[in-house]
Amino acid sequence: MKFISTRGRAPSLSFADTVLTGLASDGGLYVPENLPKFSQQEIADMAGLNYSELAFRIMWPFVAEDLTEDEMRGIIERAYANFRHAAIAPLVQTGHNEWVMELFQGPTLAFKDFALQFLGQLFDLLLKKRGEKVVVLGATSGDTGSAAIEGCRHCDNIDIFIMHPHNRVSEVQRKQMTTVLSDNVFNIALEGNFDDCQNMVKASFADQSFLPDGRRLVAVNSINWARIMAQIVYYFHAALSLGGPHRPVNFSVPTGNFGDIFAGYLARGMGLPINQLVIATNANDILHRCISANDHSPQPLVHSLSPSMDIMVSSNFERLLFDLYDRDGAAVAELLADRRAAMKLDERALEKARRLFSSERVGDERTVEVIREVFESTEYLLDPHTAIGLEAARRARKSSAEPMVCLATAHPAKFAEAVDKALPGTRVPLPHHMQDLLEREERLQVLPNELSAIHDFISRALA
């Protein structure tokens, strides 16, 4: 299988080269040249498979030319061996035909573990086979960083640098990153917001002259195709658990960077019956405004109780645009020529998006109310991101006859401030393996919002 750029001017690559390249040379994102499709009978035959075997079935068509079956099965088994729940992604019912899929059972208590535990294992295998050593550079709004560090900390051929916005992630999120004291792990607290961090990563990939000879950058952010691919699996898992493919199963996804919900879009393209995908945003609502009002204009970033969604430049939206514009890379490049300018979709592209996607915006006040209301009615505790997803699902849902699954993206213990606002005095204990997290020693570097400062720090660290 070959992978092509959303901007149409970069060479097509194999799966392995795509994973180790990240951002395409023309600034675009890689997508499969052709999406594999499963028949309804093939999907039905997957019912009853455990999560690891299902993951192999779904992902194998993408990787078959670059990995052996034994290599792929080994990567998957190691990736999910440390998840705390035997079901890997258990479902919890919160209402009539309404479900929460717990994607926080991994080692860092966030959905990013599904992709980044897999990606770390994949990197390790590919780099050992090639005898290559690389530099991982990533940006995080809260959860990607800790999951990436956990996935890469034991990799002999990787040095990892993660940028987070200084004082704009929760204490638990920060500590999960900065208390990993491995020699190959470096944390940067950037004096800016997440979009600034993300811009630093993109600029660094465009000009890698600051790296020592023989080293190159690879991406762990959701611009890396392997992350999106691994997230497709849990859509199939949820649907098969709730009667799919014999009936449609719909999803609501709290999202800022559009990667998680794009995986659902791909699952549908691979044959999974999905009639509705709900884009759930917080006050940083550029995706909601785009779908609901064709207003994709950047606005000042708002610091919210759901910091992992405090994003105004949604990188993975470009992958959807590529399909909305009939895979015309030149049209996508023109549309995104100036990310600071307001963007409007043409009516045909907008109509295509609205056939599948609904969207809602949920502010902090309502987020807190939803956490309280759901706990009082079910004794189930939501984190603020999942609360936004559940509220958006209830507002936007088109059919109560079809199951609606809200993706629970993080454990509530990571967001004590939001929980305390909803249920004053409630203490949510961290899982056993993190009981002493807040007392652990930290190591991080606070740097100004300047590309030269980032590059100087990385160069010195690698010297």
Q: Which residues are catalytic?
A: 112
Tokens of 39: 């028949």
For residues 372 and 185, give the distance between their C-alpha atoms in angstroms, rounded to a whole number. 38
DSSP state letters, 277-288: EEEEE-S--HHH
Nearest to 91 by CA among 411, 431, 407: 407
Backbone φ, ψ for residue 420 (5° rounding): -65, -35
Q: Which of 274, 270, 275, 273 is nearest to 38 (CA)?
A: 270
- Amino acid letter, residue 363: G
CB 211 within 8 A of CB 459: yes
Phi and psi dihedrals of 380, rounded to 5? -105, 130
Element (H, E) at 165: strand 158-165
Cα 70–Cα 60–Cα 43 angle in degrees, nearest 5:
125
Q: Give yes or no for a contact between 29 and 6, defined as CB atoms under 8 angstroms apart.
A: yes
Cβ atoms of 164 and 188 within 8 Å: the answer is yes
Which residues are paired to 445 by β-bridges? 188
Chain position carrying tokens 């440390």:
82
Query: What's the CA gap between 30 and 263, in Å, rounded?
Result: 14
CB atoms closer than 10 angstroms to residue 399: 12
DSSP single-letter state for residue 138? E
Contacts of 264 (CB under 8 A, 6+ apart): 232, 235, 251, 253, 274, 277
Whether the CA torsion 199, 202, 207, 209 is positive or negative: it is positive
Q: Which helix (H) or strand (E) element contains residue 459?
A: helix 451-462
**Which residue in 259, 362, 232, 376 sits closest to 305, CA to CA?**
362
| CA distances from residue 66 to 22, 60, 62 in whole angstroms, order as listed | 17, 10, 9
For residues 451, 452, 456 and 457, what is the CA-based torsion angle, rounded to 10 degrees?
A: -40
Cβ partners under 8 Å of residue 104, min gap 6: 110, 111, 113, 383, 408, 409, 410, 411
| Exposed/middle/buried for residue 365 (C-beta within 10 Å: 0-12, 13-18, 19+) | exposed
